[in-house]
Amino acid sequence: MSIPGVKVERPSEERLRALGVDNWAPWDCEPSVFDWEYDCEETAYIKEGKVTVSSPEGTVELGAGDLVTFPAGLRCTWRVKERIRKVYRLG
């Protein structure tokens, strides 16, 4: 399944370098469930963990190695199954 507007890819090391992910802001979260709304577009690279993100339009499973872009205005629920470590940029 997928959520309209959410893009998931498995990037190469070259693509990660080109995006500059080493300079993105870090974020981590222990297993939990919470609602979230994206005020602006966010691109994130999942370094470790597993999460299910769901909205009324669908569901996406994310894990280590995924590069994901969430669109502005998305309202969703995060179900963190394994501790998540990610880096992200807004806009």
Beta strand extents in the chain (DSSP E only):
7-9, 25-29, 32-37, 42-55, 58-63, 67-70, 75-90
- The pLDDT score that the predictor gives to residue 20 is 97
Give every residue of the chain whose pLDDT is below 70, as ranges.
Answer: 1
Q: Which amino acid would we find at residue 81?
A: K
Task: Kindly report the pTM of this predicted structure.
Answer: 0.95
Q: Which domains does the chain have, with CATH numbers?
A: 7-90 (2.60.120.10)
- The pLDDT score that the predictor gives to residue 82 is 97
Residue with the two structure tokens 């999942």 = 46
- The pLDDT score that the predictor gives to residue 7 is 97
